[in-house]
Amino acid sequence: MTSTTRTASAAELEAAFQQELTTDRWTAAETAYALALLLRDAGAWDTSREWVRQCLQLLEGFPSDTEEQVATRRISVGGVPLPTYLHEGVVRERFGELA
C-alpha cells in the first residue's frame, strides 16, 4: 500500500514557518529543517543552505544537554520526515557542507 499524502510545497512550509516563528520557535526550527531537506532534495542548494542556517540559528537558543531537550515533537512536517532528535550535530551531519 502506498501513501497518498502529498508533500507540502516549499511555499506552504515557508508560510507555516513565518507563523510559527512568532508563536513557537522550536516548531519553527523543525520546519526550517524540513525546508532545508525538501529544497536540498530538489537540488536547490543555495536556498537549502539558507534554511540550514536558519535552523541552526534557532537551535542556538535551546538547551541540548538531554535527549528530552532535543527530541522532535513531530514525526514529519508537511510530509517531510524529521529526525528523532534535532540539534546542531544532527543538522551538520545530515547537511554536510551545506551547514
Hunting for cell 522550536 — which residue is that?
26
Q: Taking each helix axis as running N to C, give the angle between helix 45-59 and helix 88-95, from 0 to 180 degrees, rounded to the nearest 10.
A: 170
What domain count does the chain have? 1
Q: Is residue 58 one of the residues assigned to a domain?
A: yes
In a domain, 72, yes or no: yes
Q: Tell me: the pLDDT tens digits for 19-32?
A: 999 999 999 999 99
Residue 63 within a domain: yes
Q: Is pLDDT above 50 for 42?
A: yes
Which residue range is the domain that position 93 belongs to? 10-98
Domain-located, residue 18: yes
Residue at 5 is within a domain: no
57 to each of 10, 38, 52, how far by Cα in Å? 19, 19, 9
Q: Which residues of 24-57 are buried (b: 16+ CB within 10 A; e: fewer)?
A: eebbbbbbbbbbbbbbbeeebeebbbbbbbbbbe
Whole-angstrom distance, CA of residue 51 vs CA of residue 53: 5
Percent with pLDDT over 70 in the chain? 96
Residue 22 phi/psi, 5-degree rounding, is: -90, -15
Evaluate whether residue 2 is within a structural domain: no
pTM, 2 dp: 0.93
Report if residue 4 sits inside a domain.
Answer: no
Q: What is the grid cell recorded at 55?
A: 535552523
Asked if pLDDT for residue 89 goes beyond 50, the answer is yes
